[in-house]
Amino acid sequence: MHKVFNFKSYEDYLRSQWQHAKTQFRTVERKENRSSDISTIKETFPNAKKIICIGARDKSEVISFRQSGFEAIGIDVFSNSEEIKLVDMHRLSTTFEENYFDVAYMSHSFEHSVDPKAVLEGVMKVCKMGCMIILPIMQDVDEKDPTLFEFMKKEEATLEEAKRDLSDLMMTDVNISNFFYRKHKKTLESVVCIKFS
**Residue 184: φ, ψ to 5°:** -130, 105
SS3 177: strand
Do residues 176 and 166 make contact, with C-beta atoms less than 8 angstroms apart?
Answer: yes
**Which tens digit of pLDDT belongs to each residue from 117-128?**
999 999 999 999
**Which tens digit of pLDDT belongs to each residue from 125-141?**
999 999 999 998 988 88
**More confident position, 97 or 28:** 97
CATH for 2-195, among 3.30.70.20, 3.40.30.10, 3.40.50.150, 3.30.70.980? 3.40.50.150
**Which tens digit of pLDDT belongs to each residue from 43-56?**
999 999 999 999 98
Q: What is the pTM of this model?
A: 0.93
Hey, CA dihedral for 169, 24, 97, 95, is it positive or negative? positive
